[in-house]
Chains A and B, each alone.
Chain A
Amino acid sequence: MQMLIKLFVSFILIGLGAYGGGLVTIPLIQHEIVNSKGWLVFDEMARILAIAQMTPGPIAVNAATFTGFRLSGILGALIATAAVILPSMLILVLIAPWIDRFKSNGYLNRFGRGIQIGVLSLILFAVWSYGHAAIKGWLDLLIAAAAFLFLVAFEGKLHPIVIILTCGIIGVIVF
């Protein structure tokens, strides 16, 4: 029961901080699940994220389902999934009637601009922290650089799943 409560609180925090999209949730998940609570080791989290990226649905929700199941079975999966989407639902319920008024509010737009730049900070932090743990040698670095260059060359038109699957197959061959 205590584990379920901890799972709920952790994924509420991840859901709260998930402003800005799926990739921002990864440093949050890494901080909560691996660094802070120690529920998973990095390699397990990396597998969860790879699966979450390759399956339909947001990364945070998929990661919550997988982590919840891994730690507390189906009940854990249900609670973690509910927790991760609860903040956005609550925010939406609270502000939905006033969204149009908020949009034209200069102060909130300035705050929103700052948050967007904060999202960028988290992504840059994730490049370092996630990359530091995932890249174990020159070969890993080479594959990561190739993935990055392919994404740049195709200007994001190439679906990430294609890149992830290709790198996975390369991994089977070279590692």
Chain B
Amino acid sequence: MIIQCTAHPKLSLCSGFYAFGVSAPCAQSQFFPKRKEKPCIKYSSTLLSFLQKARTVRNAKRHSAAYLLGRRLRGSIGSLVAILGTILPSFFVILFIAVFLLPFFDYPKVEAFFRGCAVAIVGQFAFAGLIFCRKLLRRWVHFAVCAVGLIVVSVLGAHPIWGLITAGVLGFWLCSGDCNADAD
């Protein structure tokens, strides 16, 4: 049983290591090897359907896909071990950094490096905002929903979750003409 369970999470672990935003191709290559190995799941369409389901939930898509694949292959234990497989690589990398590199963070040059990184993240945010604006803001109603969500978190100072919920409820009432919520 243990051997059966570890066979697939090993694959999941590999996907976790190479998951710099490319977990779907990694999963594809892990579950459908090019050599004469036996594939873990029968059809690539099954993998695709799992990835689509994981996208529906959206939070932590990689873990969601791992859960679905693990459950399909080995039931509850499979899903648990598959999730662990996707979490553990980054968990240990972060722990390593936290344990061994944290003492160096106060060095002036390291501080300057992180200051530059933090500023780059602002640019990244702005770029993400631009992409989302292009995809989502197509009618005046969308602008209105966006503005209300923004007011809830920035002017009223509410928890960001309330901003999401407010926008969701407004979308429910106002976005009747565009039910294909495909942009993400």
Binding site for B on A (CB under 8 A): 13, 15-21, 23-24, 26-28, 31, 36, 43, 46-47, 49-58, 60-62, 65-66, 69-70, 74, 77, 81, 84-85, 87-89, 91-93, 95-96, 99, 102-103, 106-107, 109-131, 134-136, 140, 143-152, 156, 159-161, 163-172, 174-175
Q: Which of B95, B113, B127, B165 has the most CB of A within 10 A?
A: B127
Number of interface residues, chain B, beta carbon within 8 A: 90
Interface residue from B93, B127, B146, B147 paired with A156 (Cβ < 8 Å): B127
Contact A122 B120 (CB under 8 A): no
What B residues does A52 contact at CB under 8 A?
94
A66 to chain B, nearest CB (A): 5
Contact A85 B179 (CB under 8 A): no
If over half of A's interface residues share one DSSP class (helix, strand or loop), that class is named, otherwise mixed; here it is helix
Stretch at the interface among B4-12, B27-35, B36-44, B154-162: B154-162
Q: Which of B19, B54, B97, B152 has the most CB of A within 10 A?
A: B97
Contact B172 A123 (CB under 8 A): no
B103 within 8 A of partner (CB): no
Closest 4 CB pairs of A and B: A114-B171, A171-B116, A57-B90, A118-B167
Contact B94 A66 (CB under 8 A): yes
Binding site for A on B (CB under 8 A): 16-21, 53-54, 56-60, 62-64, 67-68, 83, 86-87, 89-91, 93-95, 97-99, 102, 105, 109, 111-133, 136-137, 142, 145-150, 152-154, 159-161, 163-172, 174-176, 178-181, 183-184
Look across to chain B and name the residue whose beta carbon is closest to the beta carbon of A112: B181
What A residues does B165 contact at CB under 8 A?
118
Look across to chain A and name the residue whose beta carbon is closest to the beta carbon of B59: A88
What A residues does B68 contact at CB under 8 A?
92, 96
Given A26-B125, A57-B87, 12 other A-B contacts at CB below 8 A? Answer: A19-B164, A20-B184, A21-B184, A28-B161, A57-B86, A57-B93, A58-B62, A92-B54, A118-B165, A125-B150, A131-B126, A144-B123
Contact A148 B93 (CB under 8 A): no
